[in-house]
Chains A and B, each alone.
Chain A
Amino acid sequence: MDELKQVFLQESFEQLDALESLLLELENRPDDETTLNGIFRAAHTIKGAAGMVECAAVESFAHVVENVLDRLRNHEIAVSTQLAALMLQCTDHLRVLVANEAGVAQMEGEEIEAQGARLLMQLGEYGPGGQVFASPKAVESGVERIPSSSSAQNCWHISVRFGPEVLRQGMDPENFLRFLETLGDIRHLETLADAMPAAAEMDPELCYLGFEITLESSADKQAIEDIFAFVRDECQLAILPPNSKVADYLDLIRNLPEDSLRLGEILVRVGALTADELAEGLRAQSAPVDEPEPEARQIGEILVAQQVVQPELVVAAVAKQAQVSEKKAQDAKLIRVPADKLDHLINLVGELVIAGAATSLLAHTRRDGELIEASSLLTRLVEEIRDASLQLRTVQIGETFNRFHRLVRDACKDLGKDVQLVINGGETELDKSIVEKIGDPLMHLVRNSLDHGIEAPAVREAAGKDPQGTLFLNAFHDAGNIVIEVSDDGAGLNRNKILAKAIERGLVDAEAHLSDREVFDLIFAPGLSTAEQVTNLSGRGVGMDVVRRNLQALRGTINVDSQPGQGTRLTLRLPLTLAIIDGFLVVSGNRAYVIPLDAVVECIERPDSEHERNYFNLRGQVLPAVCLREIFSLPGERPARESVVVVQYAGQRAGIVVDRLAGELQAVIKPLGAIFRHLQGIGGSTILGSGEVALILDISALIKISGQAEQRLLARPEQRSA
């Protein structure tokens, strides 16, 4: 696929996203002109871009959509719920078409065509203009051009004033103009030397030349502008597209340094304007204001008043200008970088971290003070580079959240519910690779909440609640993790129903006494659904287990809280990044292990008296203890003095008993191979500065193990006393 097409695909998806969110906005505020214009602009941009890369399918469909939007904008038809829904469907169809161009459509060709035909038929109900046009060069609707006999098809008007220094810099205007001829045919060229001062001041080495050029060319504006790229900063350049409006020419005249009348004549001579148009426009512009309107009228208004230009033409022109400047400003702020380049950078930084650690280790073993100082500076810089480069990959989660507006809206329509989506913390940043992977799980949770959580309006009212339900999406940072909450004010989980179902499926023993948390955790078990009926949204009992698996693959966890009648809250915890972490190095049985530093609360010495127990006393608080020696069956004798690293995860604390503490380090996470997938308590591996491999501990799993061990003991008290 060529580069242009790639850019087109990416831009189209962006525009489609924008289109979708604007359409949703339009439903809430049907009279908002800005939104309507934004919608029209987005559709128009997609059409234009599709035309450029010759995606005829996208272009012709977008054209029809645009026609209907145009009528909407001109108040020929009114915004209605059906129309908004249809437009949303059209947006979806465009997305499919664009995906089809990219070869990633999830539909068959025939299916796409059938859908397209159906939508076109529906669009046809909203007035004429719903005809598919075949030729990609058809005149766009909505903007009518002033017929001008002398301006031929595809004649660009280029107005350029070269800066004084160009000749001295060895750039001859002639070369640029000659180069223009490679793009097309120079129909007419006028040389202007009006800027030349009197004899005494005239410096023959400075350039005073300007040109008005009519170029017949099928090139685009960018290509023409590119010709002047070398002198872009030095010269004053104005390019008017073929068949530009009179107002644009008059604007041009106003903006150029030369006398308006003289320029006007030139424009007439190059065939851009007719003499009458010019005379009318200029006279009106300079005429004294004798009408009651106090403010000076813009030339656009004048021309409108004289019926020379349709009002929508001026609106279109203004919107276009605003869009161009907006786009430019955005372009200046953002750079598109291929993701694999960033990944490569992150990899290199990872290696740099390891190499830096090796240097630092060497410096310490040599006991060379200066080297230690130098390497510590190096370490600090490497850390900064690491943070900065990881930052490059972070994106705000808001974009992911905003997608759910549409989902909520559609689901509400389907289910006959009224739900408001409230988003908090959309600006929270996290790694792009994680964002991509949590989209689906999140969608599942949102659907679940809509489908099972929030009750129908009548039920809500009967329960004394606001008939409109609320779904909250919340994101924030917490101790090196990102926390995402999906909560609703619905009915809450039905503890008994879940338990009954779980017993029925044989997931738990009928006699077992389970805490609320354990019961709620059952919803993540495969094949369990409490929904009485299966809807097309959810309720088939597949999903929650997949959600949990997906999250675990990202080293994340999910928790459920629920209050009957008040709602359910699902809390997702995810690491900020998958690549590099700050770690705390511990040693047990001569093996090195890394504990993520974010999880470490404090380190204490383990009193001899507690050696044989699997709990310990932290200032009066009893915490479970996990001895690495025991759970990993490490060889060798216990040292006389053991240490406990107190860790915390998702509000739970535990102690990890180790032989020795070895300090902080930066750990580049290397994933473990597939055969170690079922290993509990190990999250990954890393390479130390010495070249040794250290295992990274999975704190959430260890805490769970410690809890389970405790429960087993509680369940069999005779063992504990033994």
Chain B
Amino acid sequence: MSAIRRAFTEDFTIYRVAELKPVLLAVIQEGEHIELDLSGVEHMDSAGCQLLIFAKREAGAAGKTLAIVAHSRAVQSLIEFYNLAAWFGDPLVVPAA
């Protein structure tokens, strides 16, 4: 029963997704409950979002859980735009004002 939390500060963009994919897969390998801290992610595009969808799906397929525990403004905005908040099922912090 291992919960691991991993914080990312890299951009989740098309330029970085190729290197992020193995990192995320490795994190999913490591623990049962994976928590991603994305509060330091300054930029995210569709490729990044797609990668998150992928990670969530892979974790689910392996019988593990993956949760995003902290969203940066960029991450939250795109997830909301794509109407994926419910699918990810993570609590989103409503920004003050």
Number of B interface residues at 8 Å Cβ cutoff, please give it: 21
Query: Contacts A204-B50, A205-B17, A208-B50 given: A189-B45 contact, CB under 8 Å?
Result: no
Of A189, A193, A207, most B-chain CB atoms within 10 Å: A193
Interface residues of B in 43-87 (CB under 8 A from A): 45-47, 50-51, 53-54, 57-58, 78, 81-84, 87
Query: Contacts A189-B83, A196-B50 given: A205-B14 contact, CB under 8 Å?
Result: yes
Query: Contacts A167-B14, A168-B14 given: A199-B46 contact, CB under 8 Å?
Result: no
| Assembled-state Cα–Cα distance A209/B57 (Å) | 14
Query: Contacts A174-B81, A196-B54 given: A204-B25 contact, CB under 8 Å?
Result: no
Q: Which residue in chain A gives the minimum CB-CB distance to B12?
A: A204
Please tell me if the beta carbons of B83 and A172 are within 8 angstroms of each other in the complex: no
A204: contacting residue among B51, B78, B82, CB under 8 A: B51
- Set of chain A residues within 8 Å of B14, measured between Cβ atoms: 167-168, 170, 172, 205
- Set of chain A residues within 8 Å of B33, measured between Cβ atoms: none
- Set of chain B residues within 8 Å of A174, measured between Cβ atoms: 45-46, 78, 81-82
Interface residues of B in 2-52 (CB under 8 A from A): 14, 17-18, 20-21, 25, 45-47, 50-51
- Set of chain B residues within 8 Å of A168, measured between Cβ atoms: 14
Query: Contacts A204-B17, A204-B18, A204-B20 given: A167-B46 contact, CB under 8 Å?
Result: yes
| Assembled-state Cα–Cα distance A207/B82 (Å) | 15
Please tell me if the beta carbons of A204 and B83 are within 8 angstroms of each other in the complex: no
Q: Which residue in chain A gives the minimum CB-CB distance to B62?
A: A199
| Assembled-state Cα–Cα distance A209/B82 (Å) | 10
B18: contacting residue among A177, A178, A205, CB under 8 A: A205
Q: Which residue in chain B gives the minimum CB-CB distance to A189?
A: B83
Query: Contacts A174-B78, A196-B53 given: A205-B47 contact, CB under 8 Å?
Result: yes
- Set of chain B residues within 8 Å of A207, measured between Cβ atoms: 46-47, 50
Give the Cβ gap from B48 to chain A, nearest Cβ, in Å. 9
Q: Is A202 an interface residue (CB 8 A)?
A: yes
By secondary structure, the A interface counts as: loop
- Set of chain A residues within 8 Å of B78, measured between Cβ atoms: 174
| Assembled-state Cα–Cα distance A95/B11 (Å) | 62
Q: Is A190 an interface residue (CB 8 A)?
A: yes
Q: Which residue in chain B gives the minimum CB-CB distance to A269?
A: B83
Q: Is A80 an interface residue (CB 8 A)?
A: no
Give the Cβ gap from B7 to chain A, nearest Cβ, in Å. 20
Give the Cβ gap from A404 to chain B, nearest Cβ, in Å. 61
Please tell me if the beta carbons of B54 and A202 are within 8 angstroms of each other in the complex: yes
Q: Which residue in chain A gives the minimum CB-CB distance to B24?
A: A204
Q: Is A188 an interface residue (CB 8 A)?
A: yes
| Assembled-state Cα–Cα distance A344/B51 (Å) | 57
| Assembled-state Cα–Cα distance A167/B45 (Å) | 10
Please tell me if the beta carbons of A189 and B81 are within 8 angstroms of each other in the complex: yes
Q: Which residue in chain A gives the minimum CB-CB distance to B22?
A: A204
Q: Which residue in chain B gives the minimum CB-CB distance to A173?
A: B46
| Assembled-state Cα–Cα distance A190/B82 (Å) | 7
Q: Is A433 an interface residue (CB 8 A)?
A: no
Q: Is A191 an interface residue (CB 8 A)?
A: yes
| Assembled-state Cα–Cα distance A639/B80 (Å) | 98
Q: Chain A 206-222 against B: per-residue CB contact (8 Å), 1 yes, 0 no? A: 01110100000000000
- Set of chain A residues within 8 Å of B54, measured between Cβ atoms: 193, 196, 199, 202, 204
Of B17, B46, B78, most A-chain CB atoms within 10 Å: B46
Q: Which residue in chain B gives the minimum CB-CB distance to A200?
A: B25
| Assembled-state Cα–Cα distance A168/B47 (Å) | 10
- Set of chain B residues within 8 Å of A196, measured between Cβ atoms: 50, 53-54, 57
Q: Which residue in chain A gives the minimum CB-CB distance to B61?
A: A199
| Assembled-state Cα–Cα distance A174/B48 (Å) | 11
- Set of chain A residues within 8 Å of B53, measured between Cβ atoms: 191, 193, 196
Give the Cβ gap from B59 to chain A, nearest Cβ, in Å. 11
Please tell me if the beta carbons of B58 and A199 are within 8 angstroms of each other in the complex: yes
- Set of chain A residues within 8 Å of B87, measured between Cβ atoms: 191
- Set of chain B residues within 8 Å of A177, measured between Cβ atoms: 81
Please tell me if the beta carbons of B84 and A202 are within 8 angstroms of each other in the complex: no
Please tell me if the beta carbons of A204 and B21 are within 8 angstroms of each other in the complex: yes
- Set of chain A residues within 8 Å of B50, measured between Cβ atoms: 193, 196, 204, 207-209
| Assembled-state Cα–Cα distance A207/B81 (Å) | 17
| Assembled-state Cα–Cα distance A686/B47 (Å) | 68
| Assembled-state Cα–Cα distance A208/B57 (Å) | 14
| Assembled-state Cα–Cα distance A202/B21 (Å) | 9
- Set of chain B residues within 8 Å of A202, measured between Cβ atoms: 21, 54
Give the Cβ gap from B69 to chain A, nearest Cβ, in Å. 21
| Assembled-state Cα–Cα distance A190/B18 (Å) | 25
Q: Which residue in chain A gives the minimum CB-CB distance to B21?
A: A204
Q: Which residue in chain B gives the minimum CB-CB distance to A170?
A: B14
| Assembled-state Cα–Cα distance A189/B83 (Å) | 6
- Set of chain A residues within 8 Å of B82, measured between Cβ atoms: 174, 189, 191, 211
| Assembled-state Cα–Cα distance A170/B54 (Å) | 20
Q: Chain A 167-185 against B: per-residue CB contact (8 Å), 1 yes, 0 no? A: 1101011100110000000
| Assembled-state Cα–Cα distance A302/B35 (Å) | 50
- Set of chain A residues within 8 Å of B17, measured between Cβ atoms: 204-205
| Assembled-state Cα–Cα distance A173/B82 (Å) | 10
Q: Which residue in chain B gives the minimum CB-CB distance to A177?
A: B81
B46: contacting residue among A172, A188, A190, CB under 8 A: A172
Give the Cβ gap from B25 to chain A, nearest Cβ, in Å. 7
| Assembled-state Cα–Cα distance A178/B58 (Å) | 28
Query: Contacts A199-B25, A199-B58, A202-B54 given: A190-B83 contact, CB under 8 Å?
Result: yes
- Set of chain A residues within 8 Å of B46, measured between Cβ atoms: 167, 172-174, 207, 209
| Assembled-state Cα–Cα distance A178/B78 (Å) | 10
Give the Cβ gap from A343 to chain B, nearest Cβ, in Å. 50
- Set of chain B residues within 8 Å of A211, measured between Cβ atoms: 82
Give the Cβ gap from B50 to chain A, nearest Cβ, in Å. 6
- Set of chain B residues within 8 Å of A188, measured between Cβ atoms: 83
Give the Cβ gap from A207 to chain B, nearest Cβ, in Å. 7
B-contacting residues of A (Cβ < 8 Å)?
167-168, 170, 172-174, 177-178, 188-191, 193, 196, 199, 202, 204-205, 207-209, 211
Ranked 6 nearest A-B pairs via Cβ: A204-B17, A191-B82, A204-B21, A193-B53, A189-B83, A173-B46
A174-B46, A196-B50, A204-B21 are known; give 14 further A-B pairs, CB within 8 A: A167-B14, A167-B47, A172-B14, A172-B46, A174-B78, A189-B82, A191-B82, A193-B54, A193-B57, A202-B21, A205-B17, A205-B18, A207-B47, A208-B50
A-B contact pairs, 12 of them (CB 8 A): A167-B14, A170-B14, A173-B46, A178-B81, A190-B83, A191-B84, A193-B53, A199-B54, A202-B21, A204-B18, A209-B46, A211-B82
